[in-house]
């Protein structure tokens, strides 16, 4: 399930992120890649333990908490602190699958990476290349969104970032452990939630159809959720 989230960050949020990132130290992005992915990864990141990463990560997490689409699509149990990267001319990330288990910094615990998220911090017209290419059972999907928009997709999918030929692509990326382990069940609950929202737009909340759909949704969530 690939879901685009428009305007996760406001233009003011994006501008603030850009100002902080422009003044930040950048390091080789392979420091956070697994052994196999590191062979095809060529980009830059700000250090994950830097003050800048913590400040901007909190900004992104606050935006996620306010966003109903993210919470409906991901149903997050845990969210890894957001990281920030950039691709300059000649940089790319070849096809890879994200690592399934991630250490939570400073928590002495690990989490399962179920869902990947990319938040774009550069507008598409400012760079050429840099498409996020995601492969699923329906083929290849190229994603290149306006600054402030985000995309969520299964961490189990094969994906890549194409080579930058002009400009620079800046983004935030992170992983979430969902309360719903199986991607197919998450997709069904998301579709059901969207149907409930659409039905509530036409009928009062106490209508039997609305109550029945909500009952099914919450009982499925009660049955499938892992906490």
Q: Write out the chain in H/E/C secondary structure.
A: CCEEECCCCCHHHHHHHHHHHHCCCCEEHHHHCCHHHHCCEECEECCCCCHHHHHHHHHHHHHHHHCHHHHHHHCEEEECCCEEEEECCCCEEEEECCCCEEEECCCCEEEECCEEEEEECCCHHHEECCCEEEEECCEEEEECCCCCCEEEEECCCEEEECCCCEECEEEEEEEEEECCCCHHHHHHHHHHHHHHHHHHCCCCCCCHHHHHHHHHHHHHHHHHCCC
Q: Which pLDDT belongs to residue 36?
A: 65
Each residue's pLDDT tens digit, 160-215: 999 999 999 999 999 999 999 999 999 999 999 999 999 999 999 999 999 999 99
- The mean per-residue pLDDT over the stretch 219-227 comes to 97
% of the chain beyond a pLDDT of 90: 91
Average pLDDT value for residue range 216-223: 98
Q: CA-CA-CA-CA torsion for 70, 75, 81, 83, nearest 10 degrees? A: -40
Model pLDDT, residue 218: 97
Residue 98 has pLDDT above 80, yes or no: yes
Is residue 112 over pLDDT 80?
Answer: yes
Which numeric CATH code is attached to 3-178? 2.60.120.620
Token pair, residue 80, equals 């890894």
| Tokens describing residue 79 | 């969210």
* Amino acid 30: pLDDT: 85
pTM of the model: 0.95
């Amino acid at each position: 399930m690939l879901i685009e989230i428009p305007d996760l960050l406001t233009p003011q949020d994006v501008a603030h992120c850009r100002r902080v990132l422009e003044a930040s130290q950048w390091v080789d992005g392979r420091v956070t890649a697994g052994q196999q992915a590191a062979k095809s990864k060529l980009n830059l990141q700000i250090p994950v333990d830097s003050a800048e990463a913590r400040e901007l990560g909190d900004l992104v997490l606050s935006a996620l908490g306010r966003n109903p689409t993210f919470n409906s699509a991901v149903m997050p149990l845990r969210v890894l602190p957001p990281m920030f990267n950039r691709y300059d001319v000649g940089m790319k990330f070849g096809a890879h699958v994200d690592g399934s288990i991630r250490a939570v910094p400073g928590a002495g615990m690990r989490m399962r990476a179920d869902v990947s998220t990319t938040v774009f911090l550069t507008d598409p017209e400012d760079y050429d290349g840099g498409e996020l290419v995601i492969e699923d059972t329906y083929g290849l999907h190229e994603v290149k969104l306006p600054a402030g928009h985000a995309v969520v997709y299964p961490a189990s999918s094969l994906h890549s970032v194409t080579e930058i030929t002009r400009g620079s692509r800046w983004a935030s990326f992170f992983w979430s452990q969902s309360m719903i382990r199986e991607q197919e069940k998450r997709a069904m609950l998301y579709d059901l939630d969207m149907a409930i929202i659409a039905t509530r737009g036409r009928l009062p909340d106490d209508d039997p159809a609305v109550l029945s759909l909500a009952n099914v949704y919450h009982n499925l969530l009660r049955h499938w959720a892992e906490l």
